[in-house]
Amino acid sequence: MDTRRLKEELDRYQQRIREMIQDHSRRLHEETLQVEKKYKQELDHLNNEMNLEMDSLTKARLDLERQRRVEADLKRELQQKVCTIEDLRQEMQMKMSMLTYYMNYIMCTSELYRKCFNIGRMLKTLVFLINRSHAGRVSPCSCSKKQY
């Protein structure tokens, strides 16, 4: 009964983990779309600005430098998010390994308890049979012969 409860609890925990993974994947996808949209909007804005201010070489160079900084920031953000995803993946693998370990531990412990219970039953039966056998050997006649 305890094993069943633990298994059900493990199933619920695994379901929660799957839901968390799905939710995280969904949020990550939405965030990636937002970053891509922001990146595209920024690039469009910079391109329009450069076309309007083509007359001034100095201003164009400043705009280009600003565009490079934004791109570098976005790449840094993207790299950080990739690292975060990798960390989460490793954490989930570690959690799954721990869950597998705990499940195996529970199964082994359950098997050990079952064997101990069976040994206890066999010992009880053996003691009962020995006592019954011993009781059958001792009779009132043999006690009275010892008195004479």
List pLDDT tens digits, range 4-16. 888 999 899 999 9
Give residue 148's pLDDT: 43
| Strand intervals (E) in the chain | none
Nearest to 88 by CA among 36, 27, 7, 10: 27
Across 43-64, average pLDDT: 76
Q: How many CA atoms lie within 13 A of 26 on its CB side?
A: 6
* Mean pLDDT score, 78-91: 94
Residue 10's CB: how many other CB atoms inside 10 A?
14
**pLDDT band of 63, cuts 50, 70, 90:** confident
- Whether 141 has a pLDDT exceeding 90, the answer reads no
Residue 70 pLDDT > 70: yes
Query: What are the sequence ranges of the domains in the chain?
Result: 2-147
pTM of the model: 0.37
Contact 41, 28 (CB under 8 A): no
What is the chain's mean pLDDT, rounded? 87
Place of tokens 């493990």: 10
Confidence band of 55 (pLDDT split at 50, 70, 90) = low
